[in-house]
Amino acid sequence: MRLPLFLLLAFALTTFQVLAEEDKGTMEKAGAYIDKTVEGAKEFLSDTTLTARVKKRLYDDEKTDSGQLKITTDHGTVLVEGEVRSEDMARRVIAIVKATEGVMKTENRLVILTGTPSQIK
Protein backbone atom coordinates (compact mmCIF):
# COMPACT_ATOMS: atom_id res chain seq x y z
CA MET A 1 0.00 0.00 0.00
CA ARG A 2 2.83 2.44 0.79
CA LEU A 3 4.65 1.85 -2.48
CA PRO A 4 1.71 2.93 -4.69
CA LEU A 5 1.21 6.02 -2.52
CA PHE A 6 4.91 6.86 -2.87
CA LEU A 7 4.71 6.39 -6.64
CA LEU A 8 1.60 8.53 -6.82
CA LEU A 9 3.31 11.35 -4.89
CA ALA A 10 6.45 11.09 -7.03
CA PHE A 11 4.37 11.23 -10.20
CA ALA A 12 2.41 14.22 -8.90
CA LEU A 13 5.59 16.11 -7.99
CA THR A 14 7.18 15.38 -11.34
CA THR A 15 4.06 16.47 -13.18
CA PHE A 16 3.87 19.64 -11.11
CA GLN A 17 7.52 20.47 -11.88
CA VAL A 18 6.96 20.01 -15.62
CA LEU A 19 3.81 22.13 -15.55
CA ALA A 20 5.58 24.76 -13.44
CA GLU A 21 8.35 25.07 -16.03
CA GLU A 22 5.81 25.37 -18.84
CA ASP A 23 3.73 27.92 -16.99
CA LYS A 24 6.54 30.07 -15.64
CA GLY A 25 5.19 33.09 -17.50
CA THR A 26 1.73 32.50 -16.09
CA MET A 27 3.14 32.11 -12.61
CA GLU A 28 5.16 35.31 -12.96
CA LYS A 29 2.01 37.13 -14.10
CA ALA A 30 0.13 35.72 -11.13
CA GLY A 31 2.94 36.81 -8.82
CA ALA A 32 2.90 40.32 -10.27
CA TYR A 33 -0.87 40.48 -9.84
CA ILE A 34 -0.56 39.36 -6.22
CA ASP A 35 2.14 41.98 -5.59
CA LYS A 36 -0.08 44.68 -7.09
CA THR A 37 -3.03 43.52 -5.01
CA VAL A 38 -0.94 43.55 -1.82
CA GLU A 39 0.29 47.08 -2.57
CA GLY A 40 -3.30 48.20 -3.18
CA ALA A 41 -4.35 46.67 0.13
CA LYS A 42 -1.49 48.43 1.93
CA GLU A 43 -2.51 51.74 0.38
CA PHE A 44 -6.15 51.14 1.33
CA LEU A 45 -5.14 50.36 4.89
CA SER A 46 -2.89 53.41 4.96
CA ASP A 47 -5.76 55.65 3.79
CA THR A 48 -8.11 53.99 6.27
CA THR A 49 -5.63 54.54 9.09
CA LEU A 50 -5.16 58.18 8.08
CA THR A 51 -8.93 58.74 7.99
CA ALA A 52 -9.23 57.26 11.48
CA ARG A 53 -6.35 59.41 12.76
CA VAL A 54 -7.96 62.60 11.38
CA LYS A 55 -11.38 61.68 12.78
CA LYS A 56 -9.89 61.02 16.21
CA ARG A 57 -8.05 64.35 16.26
CA LEU A 58 -11.25 66.18 15.28
CA TYR A 59 -13.27 64.23 17.84
CA ASP A 60 -10.72 64.98 20.58
CA ASP A 61 -10.91 68.71 19.84
CA GLU A 62 -13.51 70.11 22.25
CA LYS A 63 -14.44 73.02 19.98
CA THR A 64 -15.07 70.96 16.86
CA ASP A 65 -18.40 69.25 16.19
CA SER A 66 -16.94 66.34 14.27
CA GLY A 67 -20.29 64.54 14.12
CA GLN A 68 -21.33 66.83 11.27
CA LEU A 69 -18.22 66.11 9.21
CA LYS A 70 -17.49 63.45 6.62
CA ILE A 71 -13.82 62.57 6.27
CA THR A 72 -12.48 60.40 3.44
CA THR A 73 -8.94 59.77 2.26
CA ASP A 74 -7.56 58.79 -1.13
CA HIS A 75 -3.82 58.39 -1.65
CA GLY A 76 -3.06 60.67 1.30
CA THR A 77 -5.47 63.40 0.19
CA VAL A 78 -8.07 64.05 2.88
CA LEU A 79 -11.49 65.26 1.75
CA VAL A 80 -13.44 67.17 4.42
CA GLU A 81 -17.17 67.60 3.85
CA GLY A 82 -20.02 68.82 6.01
CA GLU A 83 -21.50 71.86 7.68
CA VAL A 84 -19.79 74.07 10.25
CA ARG A 85 -21.06 77.07 12.24
CA SER A 86 -18.57 79.64 11.00
CA GLU A 87 -15.59 80.37 8.81
CA ASP A 88 -13.45 80.28 11.97
CA MET A 89 -14.65 76.72 12.65
CA ALA A 90 -13.85 75.75 9.05
CA ARG A 91 -10.39 77.23 9.50
CA ARG A 92 -9.93 75.23 12.73
CA VAL A 93 -11.08 71.97 11.14
CA ILE A 94 -8.78 72.36 8.14
CA ALA A 95 -5.85 73.30 10.41
CA ILE A 96 -6.38 70.13 12.47
CA VAL A 97 -6.58 68.00 9.34
CA LYS A 98 -3.43 69.55 7.84
CA ALA A 99 -1.53 69.08 11.11
CA THR A 100 -2.33 65.36 11.20
CA GLU A 101 0.67 63.16 10.48
CA GLY A 102 0.45 61.54 7.05
CA VAL A 103 -1.87 64.08 5.41
CA MET A 104 -0.35 65.02 2.08
CA LYS A 105 -3.11 67.30 0.83
CA THR A 106 -6.56 68.50 1.92
CA GLU A 107 -9.72 69.17 -0.03
CA ASN A 108 -12.14 71.51 1.72
CA ARG A 109 -15.81 71.02 0.90
CA LEU A 110 -17.10 72.50 4.12
CA VAL A 111 -20.21 74.65 4.01
CA ILE A 112 -20.96 77.36 6.56
CA LEU A 113 -24.44 76.83 8.06
CA THR A 114 -25.66 79.89 6.14
CA GLY A 115 -25.19 77.76 3.02
CA THR A 116 -22.01 79.51 1.88
CA PRO A 117 -19.12 77.28 0.76
CA SER A 118 -16.00 77.74 2.88
CA GLN A 119 -13.13 79.58 1.19
CA ILE A 120 -10.38 78.04 3.37
CA LYS A 121 -7.67 76.28 1.33
List pLDDT tens digits, range 62-71: 988 878 899 9
Q: Quick check: 54 and 73 in contact, CB under 8 A?
A: yes
Could you count the other beta carbons within 10 Å of the beta carbon of residue 58?
20
Task: With respect to residue 23, please indicate whether it lies within any of the assigned structural domains.
Answer: yes
Helix H, strand E, coil C: the string for 56-115 is HHHHHCCCCCHHHEEEEEECCEEEEEEEECCHHHHHHHHHHHHCCCCCCEEEEEEEECCC
pLDDT in tens, 16-74: 666 666 556 666 666 666 666 656 555 655 888 999 999 999 999 998 887 889 999 99
Does any domain span residue 117?
Answer: no
115 pLDDT higher than 80: no
Position 50 scores a pLDDT of: 92
pTM score of the predicted model: 0.62
H/E element, 52: helix 24-60
**Range of the structural domain that residue 78 is part of:** 2-112
Residue 19 lies in a domain: yes
Q: Is there a domain that residue 26 lies in?
A: yes
The CATH number of residue 83's host domain is 3.30.1340.30
- Residue 69 within any structural domain of the chain: yes
Please indicate, yes or no, if residue 121 is contained in any of the structural domains.
no
Residue 119 belongs to a domain: no
In a domain, 80, yes or no: yes
d(CA 102, CA 50): 7
Nearest to 94 by CA among 86, 82, 106: 106
pLDDT at 1 (0 to 100): 47
Into how many domains does the chain fold? 1
Neighbours of 68 (CB within 10 A): 15
